[in-house]
Structure 1
Amino acid sequence: MFFWFYKHILMGPLLRLLGRPKVQGLEYVPDSGAVILASNHLAVADSFYLPLVFRRRITFLAKSEYFTGTGLKGKLTKFFYSSTGQVPIDRTDADSAAAALTTAQRILAEGKLLGMYPEGTRSPDGRLYKGKTGLARVALESGIPVIPVAMIGTDSVNPPGSKMWHFGRVEVRFGKPMDFSRFEGLAGNRFIERAVIDEVMYELMRLSGQEYVDLYAADVKEGKCPQPAAKAG
């Protein structure tokens, strides 16, 4: 109930005023049944604007830190994510990652829309970074189609690192469902999983128009590899 209150009364009108969202390809998303939505990730606002354009509710796998904060801000954050149906996951080690994938399978088994960010974190500079194979594993094990989603302009409305939101123009582009049934029975094969996620990232690059960087965004943020230079022109 809180989700619908948030969407239609509490935050929806304000988000529409700020971002004037435009949607393309919404007809590719079915009105019922499980689907994996694979989105690029530019800003926190992605998780606000993507649900805004749907009649159905999206369940995201949210990092557990959103549910463990202290003080008034921590309690409000936990209440928001819990009441809107988001699921906490621990991303600290391999066992935690396996548990997160199990949670994703459970959500899909319930016929829900599952939102995933294959980059694993927000882009540090607006470019599209290498996808992690967890999404591929979920798609191959479940047989559920993947719909690529390009978020455009959310980093202008909600600049990363800024507490201020701005007026802008947000666009949400949905691509055609991607069927990976030709790889049935090959979940767990790291070469196949890499091929699947690379195919998804290619579609995201095509839909979003972003420059692709063949590095993990988290590694760049943590200084494990140098910040790649943008292409000239």
Structure 2
Amino acid sequence: MRGENTVRSVSHAFVAGRVRRHLRSVDGLEHLPTTGPFVLAPNHRSYFDHFVMEILVGAVTGRPVWFLTKRESFDRTLPRLWTRAWYGIPVDRDAPAPDTLRTVKRVLTGGDVLCVYPEGTRNTDRALLPFKSGAFRFALAADVPVIPVGITGTDEVLPKGRRWFRSSGRVHLVFGTPLVVDRSAGKQRAADEMAAEARRSIEDLVQRAEASRDLGAPHTALEAATRLLDGRITGALDEHGQLSRSAHRRMRLLTSLLAPLETRPHHISVQRARLLGLRLLALPAVLRPLPARSVRRTAEAVLHHDPSHRDANYLLGRWHLSMPSALGGSPLVAVDAFLASTAASSPGDTRALAGLAEAYAALGRTDDLVRTLRTLCDIGAEPGTRDAARVERARARLSTLKTEGSVESSALVGGRR
């Protein structure tokens, strides 16, 4: 196990770099379950498929992706070490052995991701090979969803029979919606029906991936990827609003993988700057100003093209709140930025409102602070979320202001104005 961990840690940066170099478009990431195990069912063109699934899906979910791999890959010492390091599970493709079934059960019970290629082997033709039902029997037995995947271009990066990567090759992939079948007809029939449904879905997804080679990923894919990235970063924050070192590495990797989707520095670049800003919070205050300049530059560059950009305005507001006036910080500018971010936010989004309250407090504008806190308190946030935590903090702050008697009665009684 120690040797496998060493191989994986030493080779991870190289493998991730190859995926980053060749990945050109991703669509449908929002279909990957946020929590819980699931089965990936991609078409199979190249051994490079393993690395794309492992690096990308692992960065999105924070969990390893295990692969059913032909048992011959475990016969010799070095291939066995490499395959196990990259989460390979030995399997006899004609009749899975009991140890394979136990390992698969352990993977899914433990909450990880299982990748099974329904074609059973790498395919050199454009038409899909006949599907095997193993992936779907595993999913049905564990009662987990199956996510179909269409992928193209990996055979250009690492063709079947080659042992080294080519410098060319553009990879495009599309994740489909979870497969739904009638499970009441019996497991074997349900597995066959799911295999047929998966084939139809993957054929469509491969066509969409092929279209992205010529037309580029649709704009909706970028919007969905941005929402996912924003949600993953927010979900990884601890109770103090900071990222752990491991979470920061994973989010930085995901950001770098999604960057090729952008046509100009907007959404993904803002999230990259946000990650830098979060990282700066872990540094001593005296070391923050110089690297923080790039956060401000990124936000202002985005706002030059899109003045109403929600995240760029929020990021700029945070920058002005965190920097002293001697270095250009200004709570007054932060107010304007947070107001613009609030206007571009959905009704239940508390992030910009919380920043606005801090800016009003820094300026000593008590009436405006109270109105903003009351607006936050009126938001019906889902329990356990960061929105709910901000609402609770707003209520506590408002209660403190009342207790201190530092708020004019008109501000407290008048509600929203």
Q: TM-score normalised by the shorter chain: which range applies? A: 0.7 to 0.9
Q: Deviations over 1:85-144 (max 9, x none)?
A: 3222233x53x3565344323321111100000111111323212211112212222221
Structure 1 residues 118-157: aligned runs within 5 Å: 118-157=118-157
* Alignment partner of 1:6 is 2:11: yes
**Partner SS, residue 198 of structure 2:** helix
The percent identity for this pair of structures is 32
Aligned to 2:90: 88
Q: Which moved more, 1:100-109 or 1:40-49?
A: 100-109
Q: Which residue of 2 aligns with 1:217?
A: none
CA gap of 1:203–1:4, structure 2 versus 1, over 3 A, is: farther
Residues 1:98 and 1:206: Cα distance change in structure 2 (over 3 Å): farther
Is residue 2:48 matched to residue 1:45? Answer: yes
Matches of 2:16 and 2:206, distance apart in 1: 24
Residues 1:31 and 2:34 aligned together: yes
Alignment partner of 2:70 out of 58, 63, 69 = 63
| Partner Cα distance (2:206, 2:122) in 1 | 15
Unpaired segments of 5 or more residues in structure 2? 209-417
User: How many residues are matched?
Assistant: 198
Give the TM-score normalised by the residue count of structure 2: 0.44
Supply the AA of the counterpart residue of 2:79. T
Q: Matches of 1:107 and 1:200 in 2, distance apart?
A: 22
Provide the TM-score with structure 1 as the length reference: 0.76
For residues 157 and 58 of structure 1, the distance between their equivalents in structure 2, rounded to whole angstroms, comes to: 21
Contact 2:179 2:194 in 1 (8 A): no
More helix, by proportion: 2
1: CA distance, partners of 2:103 / 2:68: 8
Amino acid at match of 2:81: F
What letter corresponds to residue 155 of structure 1 in structure 2? D
Determine the structure 2 residue equivalent to 1:220: none
Classify 1:192/1:148 alpha carbon distance in 2 versus 1 (closer, same or farther; 3 Å): same
Give the Å deviation of 1:172: 2.0
CA distance in 2, matches of 1:4, 1:53: 16
Aligned CA distance change for structure 1 residues 118 and 97 (closer, same or farther; 3 Å): farther
RCO (CA 8 Å, sep 6+): is it higher in 1 or 2? 1
RMSD: 2.2
| More off after superposition, 142-151 vs 164-173 | 164-173
Q: Secondary structure at the match of 2:162?
A: coil
Q: Any idea what SS the aligned residue of 1:122 has?
A: coil
Q: Distance in 1 between matches of 2:10 and 2:172?
A: 23
Deviation at 1:205, TM superposition (A): 0.4
* Structure 1 counterpart of 2:207, one-letter code: G
Alpha-carbon distance in structure 2 between the residues aligned to 1:34 and 1:111: 4
Alpha-carbon distance in 2 for matches of 1:128, 1:15: 24
Q: 1:86 to 1:123 in 2, by over 3 A?
A: same
Cα drift, residue 78 of structure 1: 1.4
List alignment gaps of at least 5 residues for structure 1: 70-74, 211-233
Contact 1:140/1:186 (8 A) holds in 2: no
- Structure-2 separation of matches of 1:103 and 1:83: 15
Within 5 Å, give how 1:71-220 maps onto structure 2.
75-91=77-93, 93-94=94-95, 96=96, 100-166=100-166, 167-180=168-181, 182-184=182-184, 186-187=186-187, 189=188, 191-209=189-207
Aligned partner letter, 2:123:
S
**1:21, 1:171 within 8 Å by CA — same for their partners in 2?**
yes
Q: Which has the higher strand share?
A: 1
Separation (CA, whole Å) in 1 of partners of 2:32 and 2:19? 22
Say if 2:136 and 2:146, in contact at 8 Å, map to a contact too: no
Alignment deviations for residues 60-93 of structure 1 (CA, whole Å, 9 cap, x no partner): 1111111112xxxxx32211112233222233x5
